[in-house]
Every structure is written in C-alpha cells, then in structure tokens.
Amino acid sequence: MTERYSTIAILLHWLIALLIVGMVGMGLYMTGLPDERMSEKFELYQLHKSFGVTVLFLSLVRLIWRLTHKPPSLPGHMPDWERFAAKATHWAFYGLMIGIPLSGWAMVSASPWNLPTVLFGAIDWPHLPYFSTVADKKAVEGMLKEVHELLAFGMLFLLVLHVAAALKHHFINRDNVLCHMLPVVKPREESGKKQ
C-alpha cells in the first residue's frame, strides 16, 4: 500500500505553490511598472500584500499540520545524502514560506511612506510594531527590500531543485515519491527500483 500525504496537506501544498509562483511573478511585474502608472501600481501592491498575508496564514496552518501529522516514508532505495537533502529542502521551504511574507510585512511596516495595507480592499492590516518605530526607516526598509528579494530568489532556486528531484524520482527511479503529493494519479505497485 502506498502512503500519501493527507488531503489537507496535498491541498495546501498545491494552493501555496500556485500562490507563491504567482506572487513572485506579480512582485517582479509590479516593481517594474513606471511611476506614471501609479494607480495600477498601487492596486497591484495592495493585491500582492493581500495574497502575501494569505500565504503567511496558509503556511502557518500547513506547518502546524505537518508537525502534527506523520508524512509518508521515503523509498528504501534512497541514499542517506538524498534523504538529508530532501528533508533539508522541505524545512527550508517552510522557513521561506513564512520568512518571505514576514520580510514583506516588516518592509511595509518600516516604510517612511507609512502606506496602509488593506487586505482585498476590506481588512485593515496593521504594521509590525517594532519596524514601524525604527529610527532610520529608509535604511531599514531598503535592507528589508533586499532581504525580501533575496529570499524570493532563494525560493525559486530551491523550487528548481525540488521539481527536478520530483521528476527524477518519477521518471528515473520510478518510485512513488511524486504520487505522495498527487491527489489523482494511481500509485505504482513497487516502491522504486534500486539505483
């Protein structure tokens, strides 16, 4: 019998993955817009912040779910280094899924412009207390921008490794790792061929 992640974990995995990829695209697009298109830019920034806070919430739920539910075991043929790499990547993802939105939230809190964040045009979202009162707001905001961007690119880098690993398991090792996270595909009988 092939183990799988629970339906909730699978749902959260794909929803968060989709949102994050969209958020990176939106972040790069909106920051590249010229100032003449200020109202569009402002709307997109609000949308980016709204979905970003959504990712933060979903990721916290997912982390709690993960800490309270056992994941499927990895196939027996995987060498120790590969198990370590898989686990390290997964925990780094959790760190980034929470760290990226937090750095964004800290950045807007430190901004000298003190712009409001209204989630989906409906919910007033507060600034983070510490960052909204720092002495040199401009410098702190600039530093947090760098951190936000760097973490987002770090996430993209990990994503390439993560997808490559999932495809390698499926098409080269021909084991069930990808099926752990797929809601619909029929799992394979064997847990993978030896390398």
Contact set with ligand HEM (CB under 6 A): 13, 16-17, 20-21, 23-24, 27-28, 31, 45, 48-49, 52-53, 55-56, 66, 71-72, 74, 86, 90, 93-94, 97, 100-101, 104-105, 107-108, 117, 145, 148-149, 152, 159, 162-163, 166, 177-178, 180-181
**For ligand HEM, the closer CB: 140 or 152:** 152
And the tokens for 181? 């996270």
Beta carbon of residue 132, minimum distance to ligand HEM (angstroms, whole number)? 13
**For ligand HEM, the closer CB: 149 or 187:** 149
Beta carbon of residue 87, minimum distance to ligand HEM (angstroms, whole number)? 8
Considering just the CA atoms, what is the radius of gyration of the chain in Å?
Answer: 20
**For ligand HEM, the closer CB: 20 or 140:** 20
**For ligand HEM, the closer CB: 135 or 160:** 160
**For ligand HEM, the closer CB: 48 or 192:** 48
Beta carbon of residue 194, minimum distance to ligand HEM (angstroms, whole number)? 19
**For ligand HEM, the closer CB: 133 or 161:** 161
Q: For the residues of 100-148, what is the DSSP string, one character each?
A: HHHHHHHHHHH-TT---EEETTTEEEPPPTTGGG-S-HHHHHHHHHHHH
And the tokens for 8? 């909730």
**For the stretch 109-143, what's the b/e string if a residue is b when 16 or more beta carbons lie within 10 angstroms of its beta carbon?**
bbbeeeeebebeeeeeeebeeebeeeeebeebbee
Beta carbon of residue 186, minimum distance to ligand HEM (angstroms, whole number)? 15
Beta carbon of residue 163, minimum distance to ligand HEM (angstroms, whole number)? 4
Q: Which of 108, 138, 140 is nearest to 126 (CA)?
A: 108
Sequence-ordered list of residues with C-beta below 8 angstroms from that of 192, at least 6 positions apart, any chain: 75, 76, 77, 169, 173, 174, 175, 176, 177
- Measure the CA angle with vertex 150, ends 161 and 169; round to 5°: 10
Beta carbon of residue 135, minimum distance to ligand HEM (angstroms, whole number)? 21
